[in-house]
A and B are shown apart, each in its own frame.
Chain A
Amino acid sequence: MASTWKGLLAAGASLLSLGLVSTGAVGALGAQAVQAAGRYGGTLNIEITNDPPGLDPATVLDNDAGYVMATLYDGLTAYKPGTTQVVPGLATHWKITNGGKTYIFYLRHGVTFSDGTPFNAQAVAQWIDHLINPKNPDYYAKQKGIQTFVPFTWGNVTGYKVLGPYTIEVNMKSPNGEFLADLAMVWDGVTSPTAVAKWGSQYYEHPSGTGPFVLEKWVKGQYLEVKANPHYWGGRPYLSSIIFQEIPNQATQFLALRTGRVDILTDVAPNEVASIRSDSHLRLLAEPGLADNAVSLPVQVKPFSDVRVRQALNYAVNKALLDKTLYGGLAQVMNSPLPKVAFGYDPKIPAYPYDPQKARQLLAAAGYPHGFTATMVVYTGARGYNPIGGQELATAIQAQLAQVGVKLKLDIVDPTTWLGMIRNPNFHLMTLTGWTGDNGDPDDMISPLFNGNAFTTGNSSHYNNPQVNALFASALESSNPAVRAHDYDIIQKKIMADAPWIFLNYPDMLRAESTSVHGFVPNPTYFYFNMNQVWLSR
């Protein structure tokens, strides 16, 4: 949301990069950082952009909400810190039977929701029921127009059975290979059924989970404070509390980190990286992200219906130069639609090298020796997968493609307009695009973008290859990692060859923190998981 302002305020932000800012004294211990075990106490301040629309995992899809909810809730499964590898969460172990259509979860003992409700199979049954049963009085979708991930995870689930006080069975219509990865998502945090029933449509303001923190105070438009849950099953949090400070403007966000008003910066722009690196009180965290940054080509219409044209465009863009100049080296050239941290990523697939000569040859072979003119739709501002902003990237691509005779007209629109355009099933234009994965599973990462059978609104290129579609189906239906990895390997290679996108880069996931923060490990899903491990040395 603030991304529009990111563009508008570029002038203000550039002030910072010009070095007009002198280094002020920032309250941090810096080099004296305590190396020993964590210290208890203290309040950690984290910057978020906007007021979350709600804190019910079933009815919001907002990043700012997700940042807070990751501290309040646990899923049946979880991600190993710093990865998207699935590990036990509220379920200590599980069994998959019936050809992948039945999951039996064995639940953790001695866990309580923040409202005092005991966590057990009965509670999980009630939680699942409110997600899948429209007759349930607390059915999640009773409110109109909610944003939700529930159909994504639970659309396939037909029912559940309580097998014991701490054992529950979940049944599905067909196997879903990414179900366990889904359950670890922040959007599948287990909510207290008692609290859901008590608050009804107001639950989104009265969240109750089993997480390391509990909502203490929510001053709308200003901040949210979460307090440590001393009985947390995963270990008592070091911090006493976390305050999520709402700061919509990019330049202000950065100054908030500089002045110590916040300890962790959620939104780091590439033009701030140099200032962060040169400040001894600050630390830049750059990790491979779960994100693709690309240009989508409308494969159903001319001239893009010719694969040679699409490949030519891939050869015509100097991706490495973009990474170096625009992204300050904080991005890597794409060699697969799957990012490096996703399950099944194949590092051996070659990326399209920069070869304008070959691009011209392919264009000539396709009947466009002098190139062609096309319109590219461009979003304003930065996005999770493109921290430098749409216009900046589009202008560079426009100049590079002009070298091989392809003239681009840029249609620059605000991000919401852009989303509305590309998600329209009748959209057939070139556009900047990208994707941020939700759970690290390859199905989530690329099926919405390239599966022609299950057309969702993410497939803006209208790519539809029956062979790839069949592989997507077989990979999803298997819960055998080796089988899935093999299927996704072929899928990656076919998509690269078919080139429905200009494959640009994988931007790093950027966070910045004060040097007094310890134990913070960013998760590739971007959310603030495992915050019970974080402590402060000031």
Chain B
Amino acid sequence: MLNLIVRRLLLAIPVMFGVLVAVFVGLHVLPGNVAQAIGGPHATAAQIALITRQLGLDKPIYVQFWVYLSQVVRGQLGTSLRTHDPVTVDLMQAFPYTLQLTLAAFVLASLVGVAAGMVAAVYRNSWLDSALMSLVLVGISMPVFWTGILLMLLFAVDLPWFPLSGVLSPGLTVPGPTGLPVLDGLLTGNWAGFGDALSHLVLPAVTLATYTVAFIARMTRAAMVEVLQQDYLRTARAKGLAGPVVVFKHALRNAALPVVTVMGIQLGTLLSGAVLTETIFAIPGLGRLTITSILFRDYPEVQGIVLLAALLFVLVNLLTDVLYGLLDPRIRYQ
């Protein structure tokens, strides 16, 4: 297992390099010239030339790439053109909010999705199954921005149960070791902060989770329906095992493999879904930083974000593979 982890992490290096090349080239062939964007409409040709020189954009792209690469291997991602802060500082500031949102949505989606899928499979072809699968269809079809605004209208405007947007009420801070306000509130016993952060998290987490709940429910149902028809389950029932034991111990564990795969993929989807959710709910996470940086042509920031995102995907994939091994003893990694 350790062997696998080390090997996969080493393999991540060429992956990250490839990603870096793609993003670097992609950003530089976009028609928007960053020097012109910075210079503004009053800029004369001389001013634009100066900015181009200052940023090293007058050098050939391979030279620019080499300069950037030699920074990256030393752990420096450069300075943001928009915020003037080191990219690592901006990333560290934004990442906890995205992580909190994504994890909350993921936990929610997994619990609700697996439960709904199991119920639908056990009672397949009943009215309950039809009702659940209809809801799933709605969940899969609703775009994030629509769900978000609808939830806002219902639960922040008409029924003011939750705050409209943001991550904390103005004036409130929740200092702590993780940077995730909800977790920090919990860990430091700051109950006021915990409550406030949690109430801000509910609507965006539900919004982001909706699609994934539906997707996981559908996959779980399909996998469970297949497993429930297997001979060994008939045997288990014939042995006189109670219904719940059969479903949870015998069926779910065998149905779990495809579900885990889907959950791994969905974690990536959640990270990208955070772009819209964060914009709607004014959450200062990576998604919002991505949009702002792309629109500003803030090359160093965008490169930093993509690098971080690629790393996260590699880690999630690795985690999925490790879970495979744990769930299915037949799978052994060489």
Contact = CB atoms under 8 A, between A and B. Distances in A.
Nearest to B289: A221
B149 A415 contact: no
Contacts of B38: 145-147
A462 to B, nearest CB: 13
B145 A247 contact: no
Contact of B160 (A24, A147, A152, A256): A24
Interface stretch (B81-89, B229-237, B243-251): B81-89
B138 to A, nearest CB: 16
Interface string B25-64: 0000011111111111111110110010011000000000
Given A51-B284, A252-B152, A419 B279 contact: no
Interface of A: 1-2, 4-5, 8-9, 11-12, 15, 20-22, 24, 50-51, 53-54, 61, 143-147, 149, 151-152, 201, 204, 217, 219-223, 225, 243, 245-249, 251-252, 255-256, 258-259, 261, 413-421, 423-425, 435, 448, 454-458
A457 B36 contact: yes
B145 A9 contact: yes
Contacts of B39: 147, 423, 457
Interface of B: 30-45, 47-48, 51, 54-55, 81-84, 93-94, 97, 143, 145-146, 148-150, 152-153, 156-158, 160, 163-168, 170-171, 173, 279-282, 284, 288, 291-292, 294-297
Nearest to B50: A141
A227 to B, nearest CB: 12
Contact of B297 (A22, A204, A256, A416): A416
A22 B152 CA distance: 13
A4 B45 contact: no
B84 A143 contact: yes
Contact of B33 (A217, A251, A423): A423
B153 A4 contact: no
B52 to A, nearest CB: 10
Nearest to B275: A5
20 contacts: A4-B291, A4-B295, A12-B145, A143-B84, A204-B84, A221-B97, A222-B166, A222-B284, A243-B170, A248-B282, A259-B160, A416-B295, A416-B297, A420-B30, A420-B32, A423-B33, A423-B41, A454-B44, A457-B39, A457-B44
Contact of B41 (A8, A258, A414, A448): A448
A220 B93 contact: yes
A82 to B, nearest CB: 25
Contacts of A247: 165, 282
Of the listed residues A4, A21, A243, A249, the one surrounded by the most CB atoms of chain B closer than 10 A to its CB is A249
B157 A24 contact: yes
Nearest to A3: B295
A420 B36 contact: yes
Contacts, number: 180
Contacts of A2: 279
A20 B154 CA distance: 11
Given A145-B38, A220-B93, A456 B168 contact: no
Given A151-B47, A225-B170, 10 more contacts: A54-B84, A143-B84, A146-B38, A147-B39, A147-B40, A217-B171, A245-B170, A252-B149, A259-B156, A259-B157
Given A145-B54, A252-B165, A258-B157, A61 B145 contact: no
Contact of A416 (B32, B40, B42, B168): B32
B149 A22 contact: no
Going nearest first, the 10 A-B pairs with the smallest beta carbon separation are: A221-B284, A420-B32, A458-B41, A144-B54, A12-B149, A423-B36, A416-B32, A417-B32, A420-B33, A247-B282
Contacts of B291: 1, 4-5, 248
Given A9-B145, A221-B288, A456-B41, A424 B36 contact: yes
Contacts of A219: 170, 173
Contact of B94 (A8, A221, A423, A456): A221
A424 B44 CA distance: 11
Given A51-B284, A417-B30, A255 B157 contact: yes
A362 to B, nearest CB: 30
